[in-house]
Structures are given as C-alpha cells and as structure tokens.
C-alpha cells in the first residue's frame, strides 16, 4: 500500500509527521502478510540435561578457580627423547611375559610409561627444592614457602566422579617396581571410591599425564598449595639434529607450570632440562 507523504498533515511536534499520521492517511493498519509468506513459528527451545554442580565436581571447580585466582601461573614446554624409555618398557614387558606367575619379574609387565616418568621426576626433583615445595600463611609468620628434600608425588587420576590426585610417598627412595605397584593400587582405590583422605594429601609435586589421549602439550593447573606441576604429553616422532644431521626420534612432551610468585623461570627451566636428560638416559638413572 502506498501513501502520498506530501499530502499528510503532521500532528507531531512542530508539525512533524509521526506514525499515527501515516496510519490515518492509509485508512487502515498495514495488512497482514499472505498465508503463504507468513513468518514460521519459533522452534521449540531445546532442553538439555541439567546437573547440579556439587560433591566432588564442586570441590574440583572451587580448587581450580582458587588456584588460578591466587597464584601467578607460568607454563614452560619442552620435550625429552623417549627412545630409551620406550626400549626399556618393551624389555620389561618381554621379561614379564616369560616369567613365572606371581613373581617380581612377572609384575614388571605392569610398569607404564607414566611410572617411568614419575620415577625420573622422583630422582631429579631433590636437586631442585624450589619446585618441590608448598606455600602457605599463618597469623604469626605471614606468607611462607616450605621446601622439601623428600618427594611425595601426586598424580592425576580420572574417575567417574571427577579428577583425583593420590600421593605416592617417598618416590625419591623407592624402586621402579614399588613405585608402579603403589601408583596402581592408589589409582584403583581412587576409581573405586575406596581411597582414604590421607592418601590424597601431603603431596609436594604433581604429575598429570594426558599423553594417552594423544595430547602433545597442555597447560596443567597448579595443584595448590604446591608450586609446580608437570604435564606429560604423547610420544611423537619428531625431526632432531644428531651429529650434524637430521634424524627422526620419538619424543615425549613435557609442560611444567610453576607459581611465578615464588619460583623464577630460570630454575624451572633448569629442572625441566635436567628431567628431560633423566628421561632420555633413564637406564643410567636406574643404575645409580
């Protein structure tokens, strides 16, 4: 419908033409659209499954938020040559396959790559007490940092109720087999919800491994009050320089997050470098 605007007398301020003038001139309101061009009805709003955030999930959420809020987190990324570690793991599985059941040799087959990385961490970390530490505060002392010579190593476990971090104690002093067996027992207790509260406390450093999912590197969030956490990525074939030539070797990704308030980048980088060397020469590490 067309309206001759020039013929309309405006009733607005100072004679301006307003909407009611146009409607009046048209003699009727704008006609409805034909049925064939009518707007479609709005689709029904999708309804998902709503789950309250509570219990372990709520505790995890609160701790992750507090960790990011209360610390200055910095992540350093590196890679370690994994050829020796992979060869050692294969040798252990071969030895276990021919061993008598229920013997220590047969138990070697249960040692994982994560166990080997944790063993390397336990042997390397005592030389870097800046990272084997926790922070805290008291009314009398204010804020403080406590460094440890013993390594009580937390490791992330995915359970059906959320992430749990059991602690393997005295990792600096146990054998590879004992470390593996302790870690396996703690992981099973976490997944079956039979783990004791004290088995989730007292850690001085944490390892989180996402390599099994093909993740090459990531940014692990500090398990406060600890000041450092190591993320372990997937083993990937990469080109490296060896004796002046390019060679392809399998490497494992390492991501170290520190609390930059109390740990500087240089000591963190030195630890990551030393850990990469320990993993690359883990056979020699086990001999010392």
What are the catalytic residues? Answer: 260, 264
Tokens coding 147: 């460094």
Contact between 96 and 105 under an 8 Å Cβ cutoff? The reply is: yes
Contact between 268 and 92 under an 8 Å Cβ cutoff? The reply is: no
| Spatial separation of the C-alpha atoms in residues 91 and 112, rounded to whole Å | 12
| Chain centre distance of CA 67 | 13
CB neighbourhood size of 15 (10 A): 9
Q: How many CA atoms lie within 13 A of 166 on its CB side?
A: 22
CA distances from 211 to 39, 161, 229, 263 (A): 51, 21, 15, 26
Nearest to 199 by CA among 153, 230, 135, 236: 153
CA distances from 175 to 82, 250, 286 (A): 20, 25, 9
Token pair 């008598």 in the structure block, residue: 100
Q: Find the radius of gyration of the CA atoms of the chain.
A: 31
CA distances from 152 to 76, 146, 286 (A): 22, 14, 19
Contact between 202 and 167 under an 8 Å Cβ cutoff? The reply is: yes
- Across-strand partners of 133? 147
């Amino acid at each position: 419908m067309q309206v001759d605007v020039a013929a309309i007398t405006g009733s607005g301020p100072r004679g301006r033409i307003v909407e009611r003038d146009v409607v009046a001139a048209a003699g009727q309101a704008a006609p409805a659209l034909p049925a064939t061009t009518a707007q479609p009805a709005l689709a029904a709003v999708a309804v998902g499954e709503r789950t309250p955030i509570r219990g372990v999930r709520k505790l995890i959420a609160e701790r992750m938020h507090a960790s990011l809020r209360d610390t200055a987190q910095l992540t350093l990324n590196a890679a370690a040559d994994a050829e020796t570690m992979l060869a050692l793991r294969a040798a252990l599985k071969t030895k276990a396959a021919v061993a008598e059941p229920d013997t220590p040799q047969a138990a070697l087959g249960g040692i994982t790559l994560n166990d080997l990385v944790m063993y390397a961490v336990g042997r390397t970390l005592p030389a870097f007490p800046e990272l084997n530490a926790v922070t805290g505060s008291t009314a009398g002392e204010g804020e403080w940092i406590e460094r440890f010579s013993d390594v009580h190593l937390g490791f992330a476990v995915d359970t059906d109720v959320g992430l749990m971090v059991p602690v393997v104690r005295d990792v600096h002093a146990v054998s590879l087999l004992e470390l593996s067996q302790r870690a396996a027992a703690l992981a099973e207790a976490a997944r079956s919800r039979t783990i004791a509260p004290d088995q989730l406390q007292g850690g001085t450093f944490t390892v989180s491994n996402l390599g099994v999912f093909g993740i090459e590197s990531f940014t692990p969030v500090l398990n406060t009050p600890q000041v450092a956490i190591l993320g372990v990525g997937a083993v990937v074939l990469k080109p490296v320089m060896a004796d002046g030539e390019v060679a392809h070797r399998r490497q494992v990704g390492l991501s170290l997050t520190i609390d930059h308030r109390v740990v500087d980048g240089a000591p963190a980088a030195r630890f990551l470098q030393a850990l990469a060397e320990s993993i690359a020469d883990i056979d020699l590490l086990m001999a010392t």
